[in-house]
């Protein structure tokens, strides 16, 4: 879905909730799967949300190996 769509934003919210429940946090920060961070940088959930809406998910990260198995 386009990043400006309600569907995409709902999926980002769903991912953030899932990451918070299942991912490994380090000081309240999680690996960010956006195209710039590519799971190499830890960010706050609010920053991850901004990154995913502005930049999008990394296309090389289709399987959520760092955040648990995302439906």
- How long, in residues, is the chain? 71
Distance CA 71, CA 41 (A): 23
Tell me, what's the pLDDT at 42?
Answer: 96
Distance CA 20, CA 63 (A): 17
Encode the chain (71 residues) as per-residue pLDDT tens digits.
Answer: 688 899 999 999 998 998 898 888 999 999 999 999 988 999 999 999 999 999 998 877 655 555 555 55
């Amino acid at each position: 879905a386009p990043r400006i769509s309600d569907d995409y934003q709902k999926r980002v919210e769903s991912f953030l909730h899932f990451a918070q429940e299942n991912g490994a946090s380090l000081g309240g920060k999680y690996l960010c799967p956006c195209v710039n961070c590519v799971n190499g940088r830890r960010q706050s959930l609010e920053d991850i949300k901004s990154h995913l809406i502005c930049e999008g998910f990394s296309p090389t990260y289709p399987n959520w190996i760092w955040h648990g198995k995302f439906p």
